[in-house]
Amino acid sequence: MILFINFARQTLRFSMLQHIRVKNYAIIDEVSIDFDPHFNIITGETGAGKSILLGALGLILGNRADNKIFYNSSEKCIIEAEFEIGTYGLQSWFADNDLDYESPTLIRREIQPAGKNRVFINDTPVTLVQLQEFTGQLVDIHQQFSLYDIQKPAYQLTLFDAFCGNKALVIEYNQSYRKYTSLTKELASLEEARLQSIKEKDYIEFQLNELSSIPLDTFDQDALEGELNLIEHAEAIKSTTGATYLALYEDERSIVSGLEDILNGFKSISGITPGLKELYDRILSSKIELRELADEINQLADNTHIEEERALEIRDALDQLYKLQSKHQVTSVHDLMQLKLNLEGKLQHFSSVDNDIRKVKSEIDQYNTKLQTQADLLSAERHKHVEPFVATLTHLLNELGMPHATFVVEINAAEQLTPSGKDHVQFLFSANKGKNPSPIKDVASGGEISRLTLSIKSMVAAVIPLPSLIFDEVDTGLGGEIALKMAEIMQQMSVGHQLIAITHSPQLASKADKHLYVYKEIEEDKTITQIKELSLDERIETIAIMLSTKPPSKAAIENAKELLNR
């Protein structure tokens, strides 16, 4: 399978993955690896932990971790990787995230046995989301693709678009398509809201008509309830106040009249002592106050009327109010006014939905036109590159021992626009002369798929910047001269790209600029993975063992030397 990594770059031709350190991961106690900017080969015994290194790299790029990753379950797992980012133009990202910009940049991820993650960029804590965002700009990773992904039309289209140099067109189309689908969802939601509003509109208007039957903005509930209470008790008030007025003043034997008689008697003695004068003044004051009180009571009696018509009018108004308050479960005029405002707002919203629908439909039409134009451009580029793609691939397959291979890029028009444009793209292949090409999944063997994948990857790498390519046993099912030719193709690719390949092939191993060997050791009843860079003599012996057995024969050693010198 292939782990395909695209390191963004401007002028440099090499991947900026310089170093990785892995501690307490799977069967790795601790290893450190320095990578060459060109061709790196990793070999070793089956089960020694070669592919585990790829998993560790995935974690430093932000992949999720499970609880089975620990070599020692009582200690945390630490993975560090150093990237040279000097030409990536990432200063603004560091500023936006309040981080110090440094090149090279060190990423460290710590995973606790309990599952807690800590991530650092240049020793500053960041979130896992920030890590993914950062490495998403630094590294374009397409997961650890199985070789058999090339059987899938979606992956075939991704590779073909890369060869065509359609990256910018695809990005622009995808942005427009996402906006278009977002608008269509918004339109569906608005139309659903419109249907619902039609159902609700009549009832809301009915409620508003009810609420408008009372002048709520001038309706004084307390004042009307007070006035009605006065009218309902008018007869009792008039009777009582009339009798009181008579008793206080109007009657011949009224209280005020009696006080006048008392005052006349006291007047003759009021000058005898100060005490008598005080009593006289108090009686006089009482008489005056009672006289004023009698006038007020008489005025109240005169102003109190039994108004049955007014009482009926007030009762009708209050009955309407009480019914509305009971219906809407409120207790005040203010609450009813607030309800009315809310209902008026809903009606306003219903009328605005139609405007929103018209606006969204207009935007959809604009984006549909834009999408059609972008899809036409994409389709034209794809059709234009079919011939050079097929010619180059056929030549490479011939070099890799398939002289009769036939390859077809089939492009059919889709019934409607899709996330990838207006085309359905599928690779058809035949390895044998006279046999009609068919979908790769139906006809290609494992070895043929390996050669197809490498050939297409090398074609893509030749036309767009793919600084680092990591291959995991791409040589599966191949050997001899075919494997050697594959190694030569990869060696040529490494002139402009960093390659890291995990392999069992002595031919691939012989072409590396750096040969890393993974092996297992037993320490205190535990198996641990180690990795080392091989010297020339160690490379000769290792490749000889890969060619024959352990210990290698003299012939195998000579063959290994020959491979290294070719």
Say if residues 221 and 322 touch (Cβ distance below 8 Å): no
Say if residues 478 and 447 touch (Cβ distance below 8 Å): yes
Indicate whether 16 and 100 sit together in one domain. Answer: yes
Indicate whether 219 and 149 sit together in one domain. Answer: no
Residue 187 belongs to a domain? no
Q: Which segment of 9-18, 126-135, 242-251 scores lowest on mean pLDDT? A: 9-18
Last residue of a domain, one of 273, 308, 343: 343
Residue 380 belongs to a domain? no
Indicate whether 259 and 331 sit together in one domain. Answer: yes
Cα separation of the two ends of the chain: 27
Range of the domain at 45: 2-165+400-534
Indicate whether 231 and 133 sit together in one domain. Answer: no
Residue 563 belongs to a domain? no
CATH code of the domain containing 417:
3.40.50.300
Residue 444 belongs to a domain? yes
Find, among 215, 218, 225, 239, the residue nearest to 311 by Cα: 225
Residue 368 belongs to a domain? no
Helix (H) or strand (E) holding 449: helix 446-463
Residue for token pair 């036409």: 376
Indicate whether 227 and 160 sit together in one domain. Answer: no
DSSP 232: H
* pTM over the 0.85 mark: no
Indicate whether 337 and 428 sit together in one domain. Answer: no
Say if residues 259 and 286 touch (Cβ distance below 8 Å): yes
Highest-confidence segment of 57-66, 83-92, 123-132: 123-132
Last residue of a domain, one of 313, 343, 373: 343
Residue 551 belongs to a domain? no
Give the whole-angstrom CA distance, residue 95 versus residue 266: 102
DSSP structure string for 322-365: HHHHHHTT--SHHHHHHHHHHHHHHHHHHHHHHHHHHHHHHHHH
Indicate whether 116 and 13 sit together in one domain. Answer: yes
pLDDT tens digits along 128-153: 999 988 887 665 433 334 556 788 99
Find, among 54, 13, 27, the residue nearest to 470 by Cα: 54
Q: Which segment of 124-128, 229-233, 458-462 scores lowest on mean pLDDT? A: 229-233
Write out the two tokens for 40.
Answer: 């790196």
Indicate whether 41 and 154 sit together in one domain. Answer: yes
Query: Nearest-5° angle of CA 189, CA 190, CA 195?
Result: 100
- DSSP-derived pairing of the beta strands 498-502 and 39-44: parallel
Say if residues 330 and 247 touch (Cβ distance below 8 Å): no
Say if residues 500 and 35 touch (Cβ distance below 8 Å): yes
pLDDT class of 14 with cuts at 50, 70, 90: very low
Residue 550 belongs to a domain? no
Indicate whether 25 and 146 sit together in one domain. Answer: yes
Query: What is the phi/psi pair of residue 328, to 5°?
Result: -100, 5
Last residue of a domain, one of 299, 318, 343: 343
What number is the average pLDDT over the span 54-60? Answer: 85
Q: What is the pLDDT of residue 4?
A: 41
Residue 392 belongs to a domain? no
Indicate whether 15 and 136 sit together in one domain. Answer: yes
Q: Provide the domain count of the chain.
A: 2
Indicate whether 12 and 131 sit together in one domain. Answer: yes
Indicate whether 295 and 221 sit together in one domain. Answer: yes
Other beta carbons less than 10 A from residue 350's beta carbon: 17
SS3 state at 208? helix
Q: What is the pLDDT of residue 138?
A: 61
Residue 9 pLDDT greater than 70, yes or no: no
DSSP 34: E
What number is the average pLDDT over the span 416-443? Answer: 93
pLDDT tens digits along 392-413: 999 999 999 899 999 999 999 9
Give the whole-angstrom CA distance, residue 381 versus residue 533: 45
